[in-house]
C-alpha cells in the first residue's frame, strides 16, 4: 500500500520502534468478524473475540448477502476492534439499571445494535444519524436485530444540546480521518492529508460541544474513532478535561488482548493497532462529566412533524395483541395508520425529544391497517419477542428463502390462506399472503437482495 509520506513520518514520531510493524500491517488482509444475536442464534462455533462475549472471527469472508440467517438478524457483521464497546457497559453499568443512552453517530448500526443487546428492555437507546440515506440503513439494521428498546432519529448534533441533561450515557463514534481503516478502504488513503485530519478534529470538537449539555451530570461519555491521529484522539480528551472538566475512567483489560493503553493526567485511552490485534485501527476512551453546563440556546423551527402516538384501547387491538409475547410496561400505540409496541420509558423519551429531534422509528412496528384489515409489519417478523404460534408458518428451503428475499413471486400452493410467516431454519424472515394457489410476497422492496 502506497501510504502518504506525511502519514508515515507522524507514525514514526508517535509509535517509534513499533512503527515498522504497524506500517507492514496495512499490507495484510483484514480479519472478518461477526457478532452473534444470542436471542436468535443460540449456538455458534468459532474463534472468540476476547473482549466481546458474542463476537467471533471467521476463517474467510463469505458472501453474507446470500445467507438468509444474515437477513433474519441472527448476526451482525462488525469490525472486531469496535466490539470493545462491550467492556464499557459490562464494567461500568449493571444490566438491572434503566439507562437513557444516545448513540449520536450511529449508522450503519454496529454499535447501536450492540448497545441494544447490552441494556435491558426498560432502558432506552436513541440511535441517531444525521444523513437521511444512512439513517434508513440504520433503521433497517435496528429492525433486523429484533430489539424493541431503540428510538431511531435523524438530526444534527446541535439539536440534541437543547435537550438539557437527558442522557446517562452518550456514545460519539466521531467522523474521522479513517487511518485505522486504510487496508479495508484504499480510497481513504487517497483522501487523507494533514489538512483533512485537522479539519476532522475541528468537526469533532463541534460535535462534542453540541451534545455535552444533554449529558447528565456524572454521566458517561464514550468517545471513539477509527484513526491513530493524536489530534483526533488524545488531544480531544485533554480538551474535554480542560474546557469542560471531564475526568477519565479507566477500564480493565487483559494482557493477552494486546490492547495498547494510554494514560496521562488521569485520562485513559485504548488503542487497537492492527500490528498487535486481530482487527482494524480503533481508539476508545471513557470520560465522566463532572460539571453541569446546560446550554441556554434554542432553535426556532426544525421543520418536521413530531410523532404523537396515541394509546390504543383493548378493543381496538384485540386481534393483534397476541402477535407478541408482551413484555411488562409495553403498550400498543397508533401513529396515523401504523401500530407500535412502545414501553412507558420510550414514550417518555419521545416526549422529551418532542419537536427538537426528528424521530423516524421507535419501538417495534406491529402492523398497519388498510380497509379494516391489519397487515403485519416486516419489523414484527424480525422482533425477538414475536409469538410465532399466532401465525401459520411457511418453512422455506435456502433456494426459496433467497427467492423470497429477492422479492420474487412464489409459486407455492397451500391449503392455508391469508397471512403466513416465512421461516428459514426456524428463523422468521417476513410475510407472504397465501391465495391458495400462489403467494404474494410482502418482503420490503427497499430491503430486497439485488444483483443475485
Express each pLDDT in 227-242 by its tens digit.
999 999 999 999 999 9
Q: For the chain, give the percent of residues with pLDDT over 90.
A: 85
Question: In the prediction, which pLDDT does 330 show?
Answer: 77
Residue 128 has pLDDT above 70, yes or no: yes
Question: In the prediction, which pLDDT does 304 show?
Answer: 61
Residue 377 has pLDDT above 80, yes or no: yes
Q: Calculate Rg over the CA atoms of the chain.
A: 23
Q: pLDDT confidence of 372, banded at 50, 70, 90?
A: confident
Question: In the prediction, which pLDDT does 326 show?
Answer: 74
Pairing between β-strand 338-343 and β-strand 364-370 as defined by DSSP bridges? antiparallel
User: 235: phi > 0 → left, psi -120 to 50 → alpha, else beta; which?
Assistant: alpha
Question: In the prediction, which pLDDT does 414 show?
Answer: 84
The predicted-structure confidence for 26-51, as pLDDT tens digits, reads as follows 999 999 999 999 999 988 999 999 99
Averaged pLDDT, 142-152: 97
Q: Which domains does the chain have, with CATH numbers?
A: 391-452 (2.30.130.60)
Q: Helix, strand or coil for residue 121? A: coil
| Phi, psi of 229, deg, nearest 5 | -65, 115
Q: pLDDT confidence of 438, banded at 50, 70, 90?
A: confident
Q: In what order do the strands lie in the sheet with 310-311?
A: 310-311, 330-335, 338-343, 364-370, 373-376
Averaged pLDDT, 83-92: 98
Question: In the prediction, which pLDDT does 296 show?
Answer: 46
Q: pLDDT confidence of 303, banded at 50, 70, 90?
A: low
Question: In the prediction, which pLDDT does 299 show?
Answer: 54
| Phi, psi of 339, deg, nearest 5 | -120, 130
Residue 142 has pLDDT above 80, yes or no: yes
Question: In the prediction, which pLDDT does 298 show?
Answer: 53
Tell which residue, 452, 450, 447, 414, has the closest CA to residue 433.
414
Question: Are the CB atoms for 171 and 220 separated by under 8 Å?
Answer: no
Q: Tell me the C-alpha distance between 215 and 173, whole Å.
A: 16
**Which residues are designated catalytic?**
226
User: Which of 19-33, 283-297, 385-399 is least confident?
Assistant: 283-297
Question: In the prediction, which pLDDT does 301 show?
Answer: 52
**Residues in a beta bridge with 395:** 423
Q: For the chain, give the percent of residues with pLDDT over 70.
A: 96
Averaged pLDDT, 361-386: 95
Of residues 374 and 451, the one with the higher pLDDT is: 374
User: 74: phi > 0 → left, psi -120 to 50 → alpha, else beta; which?
Assistant: alpha
Of residues 395 and 416, the one with the higher pLDDT is: 395
Q: Helix, strand or coil for residue 338? A: strand
| Phi, psi of 276, deg, nearest 5 | -120, -25
Mean pLDDT rounded to a whole number for the chain:
94
Q: Tell me the C-alpha distance between 224 and 204, whole Å.
A: 11
- Would you mind telling me the total number of residues written for the chain in this entry? 452
Question: In the prediction, which pLDDT does 215 show?
Answer: 97
As to burial, measured by CB atoms within 10 angstroms (0-12 exposed, 13-18 middle, 19+ buried), residue 429 is: buried
Amino acid at each position: 500500500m502506497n501510504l502518504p509520506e506525511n502519514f508515515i513520518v507522524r507514525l514514526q514520531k508517535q509509535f517509534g520502534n513499533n512503527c515498522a510493524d504497524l506500517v507492514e500491517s496495512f499490507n495484510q488482509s483484514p480479519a472478518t468478524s461477526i457478532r452473534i444475536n444470542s436471542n436468535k442464534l443460540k449456538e455458534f462455533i468459532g474463534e472468540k473475540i476476547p473482549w466481546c462475549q458474542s463476537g467471533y472471527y471467521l476463517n474467510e469472508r463469505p458472501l453474507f448477502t446470500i445467507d438468509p440467517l444474515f437477513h433474519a438478524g441472527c448476526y451482525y457483521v462488525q469490525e472486531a476492534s469496535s466490539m470493545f464497546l462491550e467492556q464499557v457497559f459490562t464494567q461500568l453499568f449493571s444490566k438491572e439499571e434503566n439507562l437513557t443512552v444516545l448513540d449520536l453517530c450511529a449508522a450503519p448500526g454496529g454499535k447501536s445494535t450492540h448497545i441494544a443487546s447490552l441494556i435491558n428492555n426498560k432502558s432506552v437507546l436513541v440511535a441517531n444519524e444525521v444523513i437521511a440515506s444512512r439513517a434508513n440503513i440504520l433503521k433497517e439494521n435496528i429492525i433486523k436485530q429484533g430489539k424493541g428498546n431503540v428510538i431511531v432519529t435523524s438530526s444534527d448534533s446541535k439539536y440534541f444540546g437543547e435537550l438539557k441533561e437527558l442522557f446517562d450515557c452518550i456514545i460519539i463514534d466521531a467522523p474521522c480521518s479513517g487511518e485505522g481503516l486504510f487496508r479495508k478502504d484504499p480510497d481513504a488513503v487517497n483522501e487523507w492529508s494533514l489538512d483533512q485530519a485537522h479539519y476532522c478534529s475541528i468537526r469533532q470538537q463541534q460535535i462534542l460541544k453540541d451534545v455535552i449539555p444533554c449529558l447528565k451530570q456524572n454521566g458517561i461519555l464514550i468517545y471513539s474513532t477509527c484513526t491513530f491521529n493524536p489530534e483526533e484522539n488524545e488531544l480531544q480528551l485533554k480538551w474535554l478535561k480542560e474546557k469542560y472538566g471531564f475526568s477519565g475512567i479507566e477500564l480493565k483489560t487483559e494482557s493477552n488482548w494486546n490492547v495498547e493503553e494510554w494514560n496521562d493526567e488521569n485520562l485513559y485511552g485504548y488503542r487497537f493497532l492492527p500490528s498487535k490485534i486481530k482487527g482494524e485501527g480503533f481508539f476508545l476512551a471513557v470520560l465522566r462529566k463532572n460539571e453541569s453546563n446546560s446550554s441556554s440556546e434554542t432553535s426556532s423551527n426544525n421543520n418536521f412533524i413530531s410523532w404523537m402516538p396515541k394509546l390504543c384501547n383493548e378493543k381496538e387491538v384485540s386481534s393483534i395483541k397476541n402477535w407478541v409475547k408482551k413484555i411488562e410496561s409495553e403498550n400498543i400505540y397508533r401513529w396515523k395508520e401504523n401500530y407500535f409496541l412502545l414501553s412507558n420509558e420510550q414514550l417518555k423519551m419521545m416526549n422529551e425529544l418532542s419537536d427538537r429531534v426528528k424521530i423516524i422509528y421507535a419501538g417495534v412496528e406491529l402492523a398497519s391497517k388498510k380497509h379494516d384489515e391489519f397487515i403485519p409489519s416486516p419489523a414484527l417478523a424480525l422482533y425477538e419477542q414475536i409469538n410465532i404460534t399466532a401465525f401459520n408458518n411457511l418453512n422455506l428451503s435456502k433456494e426459496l428463502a433467497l427467492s423470497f428475499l429477492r422479492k420474487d413471486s412464489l409459486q407455492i400452493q397451500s391449503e392455508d390462506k391469508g397471512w403466513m410467516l416465512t421461516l428459514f431454519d426456524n428463523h422468521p424472515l417476513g410475510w407472504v399472503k397465501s391465495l391458495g394457489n400462489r403467494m404474494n410476497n410482502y418482503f420490503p422492496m427497499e430491503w430486497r437482495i439485488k444483483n443475485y
